[in-house]
Structure 1
Amino acid sequence: MNCCEHCITKPVTPRYEVVLQTGLRVPMRDGVELATDVYRPSGSPDKLSSILIRTKYGKADYRLPEPSKPVAMMFAAQGYAVVVQELRGLFDSGGHFALLEHDAKDGYDTLSWIASQPWSTERVGTYGCSALGITQVLTAQLCHPAHRCAIVEGAGGAMSGDRQRLGVSFREVVHSDRTEETG
């Protein structure tokens, strides 16, 4: 059991069947395309709020029929569109992987793509643990209008040593109304 799955204590009863779109290519501002899957509830309302999961570990673990990371299926079965994307330069995504270098802008561009989809309410939350949490914090710094919330798990310790490199601390992003605490 990993930190991204530890809070799920009992199965949630699905409200919808889930439809998975694979092989999507989401263009970034510099022309690089990132490999993306979209999970949507079948028979749900026309417009959906969305959850974005950007991963450096690949999309395959989230996929049907028996995912080892069931969170995408769980959220989609409850009525959300779930977008799972491989980071730049990893697995099927284009470009060159450089740790933390493109995460903020790529996350922002992906939020724009989600907001522009015909199924989108233009309300997007982000989700992830550890490295997936760090990508959320980096994206949050750019204040995309569609980005409504972030569920960041287990990322604080990893970020504390990179404060200067990131230009902002984890606590400053997550607790922006209490920045005086960070010193």
Structure 2
Amino acid sequence: MAIERGVAAKMRDGVTPRADIYRRKAEGKFPILLQRTPYDKRGGVDFGFKAAARGYLVIIQDVRGRYASEGEWYAFKHESDDGYDTVEWAAALPYSNGKVGMFGRSYVGATQMLAAIAGPPHLAGIFPVVTASNYHDGWTYQGGAFEQWFSQTWTTGLAQDTLNRRAARDLVSAAEK
């Protein structure tokens, strides 16, 4: 197996998300399984190895503004454009056969649906699991009532990376003064 870590994929506005790529060392062109996640691309190591061993090229990317990727993260805001750009970038890799499928659950399901809406020509399919089809009613609100439990748990789970990124910027800023 070959693993490429922190591979840059420049978006149309110049922001550079980072991805880990899992593939066989064998020559050839392979179909791609792509996941774009706000939950840390390093969580996909096991799947990356297993799917690569079965002949897939696996790309797991931290979405804009999360973990290893540049930019600021605003939930859902850039997922259509970034999803389109990432699919087309992946399809153009030298060991890609040009067919890209996306997979994953939760917010990762939303990254797939929003990419599909943008219509990248090389997106062959999506497999969103445990995600919402309506992020207002059914995720943030249920029957008009604010889903406080869900919103608090989800944002708390995302908070550590956000706080780490801000602390790092503050340290750099203080050191430059």
Q: TM-score range by the shorter chain?
A: 0.7 to 0.9
Residue 95 (structure 1) aligned with residue 77 (structure 2) = no
Residue 108 of structure 2 corresponds to which residue in structure 1? Answer: 132
Distance in 1 (alpha carbons) for counterparts of 2:91 and 2:122: 7
Query: 1:118 Cα shift?
Result: 0.9
Query: 1:142 Cα shift?
Result: 1.0
With normalisation by structure 1, the TM-score equals 0.71
- Alignment counterpart, residue 59 of structure 1, candidates 27, 33, 41: 41
Query: 1:62 Cα shift?
Result: 2.1
Whether contact under 8 Å (1:123, 1:148) holds in the other structure is: yes
Residue 38 of structure 1 corresponds to which residue in structure 2? Answer: 21
Distance in 1 (alpha carbons) for counterparts of 2:77 and 2:109: 15
- Alignment counterpart, residue 77 of structure 1, candidates 34, 53, 59: 53
Query: 1:160 Cα shift?
Result: 5.8
Residue 120 of structure 1 corresponds to which residue in structure 2? Answer: 96
Query: 1:91 Cα shift?
Result: 0.7
Query: 1:71 Cα shift?
Result: 2.0
Residue 86 (structure 1) aligned with residue 56 (structure 2) = no
The CA deviation string for residues 78-101 of structure 1, in whole angstroms up to 9 with x for no partner, is: 101001000101111001100100
Residue 22 (structure 1) aligned with residue 19 (structure 2) = no
Instruction: Count how many residue pairs are aligned between Structure 1 and Structure 2.
Output: 139
Query: 1:109 Cα shift?
Result: 0.4
With normalisation by structure 2, the TM-score equals 0.74
2:40 partner letter: G
Percentage identity across aligned positions? 32
Q: Return the index of the structure with the highest Cα Rg.
A: 2
Query: 1:125 Cα shift?
Result: 0.2
Gaps of 5+ in 2: 140-177
Q: Name the structure where helix makes up a greater proportion of residues.
A: 2
Q: CA RMSD in A?
A: 1.8
Query: 1:162 Cα shift?
Result: 8.0
SS in 2 for 1:33: coil
Residue 145 of structure 1 corresponds to which residue in structure 2? Answer: 121
SS in 2 for 1:104: helix
Query: 1:60 Cα shift?
Result: 1.6
The CA deviation string for residues 116-140 of structure 1, in whole angstroms up to 9 with x for no partner, is: 1111111000010011111101101
SS in 2 for 1:141: helix
The CA deviation string for residues 157-176 of structure 1, in whole angstroms up to 9 with x for no partner, is: 6636289xxxxxxxxxxxxx
Distance in 1 (alpha carbons) for counterparts of 2:134 and 2:52: 29
Residue 82 of structure 2 corresponds to which residue in structure 1? Answer: 106
Q: Which runs of structure 1 show a deviation greater than 6 angstroms over 4 or more consecutive aligned residues? A: none
